[in-house]
């Protein structure tokens, strides 16, 4: 079982699905000869050719529009948006067409496609290469939104997404593209079920919900909390829509306290929805107010990236708040 990075896991998933199904095609800016800006599509064009690995013009709306047409006519396109920050020119195509095709056609047409895009900070990319736009897409009915946190899940979730009959937004946390490495089966045709959260750390005193690169931050915060005698549970959501609500309520019921963690700005963020669900359905088990740890409600900074992005000490402060309430 090889030890690989998240980049390699994505690459392996694409190769395996393209070998298994001739209808799977990849398209986007520099995905072919160059292998993608992060090399997630490296060597694909050598094996599958330019008809299935398509270098497109610099036009996000054109990339997604073309992919929608491909999906409607029987292909399974996997378009790449080079950075999530560049996705806005295609926002109308995604939310008005891709997401609504099954509904508007009364089930006559589906739109089986996966929009892959790296998101988030951690590489000193500044405010045009570091944003976390997941909340925009979780607000749109018809979209599945997936965020892996390690190489094993990245491969299994991407394979499941490509096989899905409906459109998926697949957000890849570029901060952890190349670290850490993980043992991932090379020959085992496994998938990770979409819509199922994973408990990364068992705990009894408080729950931290997280996804993507924030899982590692949550784990470090729990290690710091353990030094104070508090045992935290880390719930990696993995899929934002559909949410594993059962796992969320079960964890909070066990611990009685909730800290939500996201890299995106706090106001109207995805964690706010988690907080509302718990407040509506499990308020009787809460022993303290819910605390949200998130990015700040400002443009993503360049020089102060380390201040903007949540870190273990900020999460620990929220843990202290709920434990000493």
Instruction: Indicate which CATH number applies to the domain containing 221.
Output: 3.40.50.920
Could you tell me if residue 193 is inside a domain?
Answer: no
- What pLDDT is stored for residue 181 in this prediction? 93
Could you tell me if residue 209 is inside a domain?
Answer: yes
What letter would DSSP give residue 212?
Answer: T
CA–CA separation, 75 and 307 (whole Å): 44
* Residue 202 C-alpha from the chain's centroid: 22
188 pLDDT above the threshold of 90? no
Please, which pLDDT band fits residue 1 given cuts at 50, 70 and 90? confident
Torsion of CA 146, 149, 154, 158, to 10 degrees: 0
- Counting the structural domains of the chain, the total is 2
Domain ends where: 135, 150, 183? 183
pLDDT digits 0-9 by tens, 14-33? 999 999 999 999 999 999 99
pLDDT digits 0-9 by tens, 113-170? 999 999 999 888 888 999 999 999 999 999 999 999 999 999 999 999 999 999 999 9
Same domain (yes/no): 44, 177: yes
How much is the average pLDDT of 44-70? Answer: 97
Average pLDDT, the chain: 96
Q: Is the dihedral of CA 285, 290, 293, 294 positive or negative?
A: positive
Same domain (yes/no): 147, 244: no
- How does 65-100 read in b/e, with b if 16+ C-beta sit within 10 Å? bbbbebbbeebbbbbbbbbbbbbeebbebbbebbbb
12 pLDDT above the threshold of 90? yes
Map tokens 């491909």 to a residue.
70
How much is the average pLDDT of 249-278? Answer: 98
Rg (CA), the chain: 20
How much is the average pLDDT of 54-65? Answer: 97
The predicted model scores a pTM of 0.97
Instruction: Indicate which CATH number applies to the domain containing 155.
Output: 3.40.50.970
Same domain (yes/no): 129, 277: no
List residues with catalytic annotation. Answer: 129
Could you tell me if residue 188 is inside a domain?
Answer: no
- How does 52-62 read in b/e, with b if 16+ C-beta sit within 10 Å? bbbbbeeebeb
pLDDT digits 0-9 by tens, 252-261? 999 999 999 9
Domain ends where: 183, 215, 236? 183
Same domain (yes/no): 260, 177: no
- What pLDDT is stored for residue 101 in this prediction? 96
Domain range holding 217? 198-323
Please, which pLDDT band fits residue 320 given cuts at 50, 70 and 90? very high
CA–CA separation, 157 and 190 (whole Å): 9
pLDDT digits 0-9 by tens, 210-242? 999 999 999 999 999 999 999 999 999 999 999
Could you tell me if residue 80 is inside a domain?
Answer: yes
């Amino acid at each position: 079982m090889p030890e690989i990075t998240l980049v390699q896991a994505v690459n392996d998933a694409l190769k395996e699905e393209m070998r298994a199904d001739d209808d799977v095609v990849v398209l986007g800016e520099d995905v072919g000869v160059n292998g993608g800006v992060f090399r997630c599509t490296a060597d694909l064009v050598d094996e599958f050719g330019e008809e299935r690995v398509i270098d497109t013009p610099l036009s996000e709306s054109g990339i997604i529009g073309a992919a929608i047409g491909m999906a409607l006519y029987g292909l399974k396109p996997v378009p790449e948006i080079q950075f999530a920050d560049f996705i806005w020119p295609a926002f109308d195509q995604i939310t008005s067409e891709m997401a609504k095709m099954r509904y508007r056609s009364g089930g006559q047409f589906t739109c089986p496609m996966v929009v892959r895009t790296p998101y988030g900070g951690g590489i000193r990319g500044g405010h045009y290469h570091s944003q976390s736009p997941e909340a925009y897409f979780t607000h749109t009915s018809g979209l599945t939104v997936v965020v892996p946190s390690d190489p094993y899940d990245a491969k299994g979730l991407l394979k499941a997404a490509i096989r899905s009959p409906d459109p998926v937004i697949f957000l890849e946390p570029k901060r952890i593209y190349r670290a850490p490495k993980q043992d991932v089966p090379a020959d085992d045709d496994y998938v990770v079920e979409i819509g199922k959260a994973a408990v990364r750390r068992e705990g009894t005193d408080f729950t931290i919900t997280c996804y993507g690169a924030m899982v590692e931050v949550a784990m470090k915060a729990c290690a710091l909390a353990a030094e104070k005698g508090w045992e935290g549970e880390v719930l990696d959501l993995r899929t934002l829509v559909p949410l594993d609500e059962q796992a969320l309520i079960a964890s909070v019921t066990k611990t009685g306290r909730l800290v939500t963690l996201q890299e995106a700005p706090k106001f109207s963020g995805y964690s706010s929805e988690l907080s509302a669900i718990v407040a509506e359905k499990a308020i009787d088990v809460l022993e303290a107010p819910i605390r949200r740890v998130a990015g700040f409600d400002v443009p993503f900074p360049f020089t102060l990236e380390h201040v903007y992005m949540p870190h273990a000490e900020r999460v620990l402060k929220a843990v202290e708040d709920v434990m000493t309430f």
